[in-house]
Structure 1
Amino acid sequence: DQQRIDLNKREIDYAFKQHPYAVVIFVLGHQGGRPKQEDIVAFNAINDAYSFSQKSLAVIVNNLPRRRKLGYDDKMKNEVSHLLKTHLPHFECVSEIETDQEKQAVRQKLIHIVRDALPKQHDRRHAIYLEADKISGLSKQVEESQKRIEQDRAAHEALVRWLQKEFEEKERRRREEQKQRELQWRREQERIHAAEQAELRRQQAEYERRERQRREQAEYEERERRRRQAEYEETQRRRRQAEYEEAQRRQRELENQLAQKRRREIEAKKGMC
Structure 2
Amino acid sequence: PPHLPPLIFLYLLFIYILLNAAPLKSQAYFNKTAYLPCPFANPQNISRSELVIFWQDQEKLVLYELYLGKEKLDSVDAKYLHRTSFDEENSALQLDNVQIKDQGSYDCFIQRKTPRGLVLLHKIDSELLVLANFSEPEILQVSNSTGNSGINLTCSSTQGYPKPMKMYFWLKTQNSTTEYDSVMQISQDNVTELYTVSISLSLPFLDGVNNATIFCVLKTQPMKILIFSQPLPIGKAASQGDLFRFMLTICKRKKKKPGLSYEGDE
**TM-score grouping bracket, smaller chain normalisation:** under 0.3
**Which structure is richer in relative contact order (CA contacts within 8 A, separation 6 or more)?**
1
Larger radius of gyration: 1
TM-score by length of 2: 0.25
Of Structure 1 and Structure 2, which has the larger fraction of its residues in helix? 1
Of Structure 1 and Structure 2, which has the larger fraction of its residues in strand? 2
TM-score by length of 1: 0.25
